[in-house]
Amino acid sequence: MSHFVFRGGRVLADQCVQDNCAIHVEDGVIADFHGGNEAEIVDLDGGWLVPGFVDTQVNGGGGVLFNDQPTVAGIAAIGAAHAKYGTTAFLPTLISDRLDVVAAGLDAVDAAIGRGCPASSASMSRDRFSTPRARGSMMPAISARSTTARSSC
């Protein structure tokens, strides 16, 4: 377990902002907040310490589009590109595509989660079925009437 005291800035903690906050970190995860000075001191130099960001729609990053590389390697590259900006979890998101690409993307997300790939938490596909009049960015070749999109649930 690591114990740090963050000083010289502000810490966004459980529904409040704290100054000079001591944080217990276990296995890379914040376990508890305490006031105190008996730890390694980290100077925030007037900055903020905030929780990692969760991005709920990520089509790509780092030169990789998830549709073009629906693999664990693609997810890892996208995650690495977003991590440097504070994203700690994201939903790899496909833009309308063929069903084989959607299946490959879902399989890749399952595999990435199983391998503990950083920042991969689930998957999302949007705009798969739409009416021809309102298909948005969908390719006409894969557009289908919404009445053909039946849920098996």
Tell me the pLDDT tens digit for each residue of 71-84.
Answer: 999 999 999 999 98
pTM of the model: 0.65
**Structural element, H or E, at residue 16:** strand 16-26
How do the residues of the chain divide into helix, strand and coil, expressed in percent and rounded to 5? 25, 40, 40
Residues in the chain: 153
Q: Is residue 152 part of a domain?
A: no
DSSP string for 31-78: EEEEE-SSSEEEE-TT-EE-PPEEEEEE-EETTEETTT--SHHHHHHH
103-137 pLDDT tens trace: 999 999 989 988 887 655 555 555 444 445 555 55
CATH for 34: 2.30.40.10
Residue type at 74?
Answer: G
Rounded average pLDDT over 51-64: 91
- Number of domains making up the chain: 2
Range of the domain at 74: 53-146
On whether both 129 and 61 belong to a single domain, the answer is yes
